Each structure stands twice: as C-alpha cells, then as structure tokens.
C-alpha cells in the first residue's frame, strides 16, 4: 500500500511532468501553427503554468522525506 509521503512525491513529479509536456505541446503548436486536442499554443502554455504552480506547494511541503531523499536540515 502506498503511504502518504510516497503518494505526494509521485503526485508532484506527475504534475511537473505534465507541465513539461504541456510546454512541449505549446512550443510545437506555436511553431507549426497547428493545434493539439483543439487547443492552441496559449492554452497549452496556461495549462503548463497552472500544473507547475499546483506542483510547487506539494514539493515545498516535503521537509523530511525518505522517499525523495530530502532531509530537514537540507543535508543528506
């Protein structure tokens, strides 16, 4: 069973990954003047921004985590 710390680490990594994917889609739609899923570059950039901003507080909440290797003192 997945504990809460492992879920949070996995969840923020998924959000960051989706944000990066949205940036790639935005760049592609911007340079090729095409659409992906009926969304243009501006919509993909906004999706990337929102997903990235949602991932930040989850990662910042990680103070002492053996899953991602973060220590309370900042030293491993």
- Per-residue pLDDT of 16-33, as tens digits, reads 999 999 999 999 999 998
The model's pTM: 0.75
Could you tell me how far CA 43 lies from the centroid of its own chain? 16
For residue 4, being part of any structural domain is answered with no
Say whether 67 sits in a helix, a strand or coil.
Answer: coil
Split into its structural domains, the chain has a count of 1
Token representation of residue 58: 């989850």
Q: Residues in the chain, how many?
A: 76
Whether 66 contacts 30, CB under 8 Å? no
**What would the pLDDT profile of 20-75 be if each residue is shown by its tens digit?**
999 999 999 999 988 898 899 999 999 999 999 998 888 877 766 666 665 555 54
**d(C-alpha 29, C-alpha 47), whole Å:** 14
Query: 52 with 46: CB under 8 angstroms?
Result: no
46 inside domain: yes
Instruction: Establish if 70 belongs to a structural domain.
Output: yes
Q: Containing domain of residue 58, as a range?
A: 12-76
């Amino acid at each position: 069973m997945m504990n809460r710390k492992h879920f949070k680490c996995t969840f923020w990594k998924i959000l960051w990954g989706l944000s990066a994917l949205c940036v790639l889609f935005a760049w592609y739609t911007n340079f090729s003047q095409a659409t992906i899923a009926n969304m243009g570059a501006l919509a993909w950039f906004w999706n990337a921004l929102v997903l990235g901003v949602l991932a930040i507080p989850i990662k910042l909440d990680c103070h002492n985590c053996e899953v991602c290797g973060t220590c309370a003192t900042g030293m491993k």
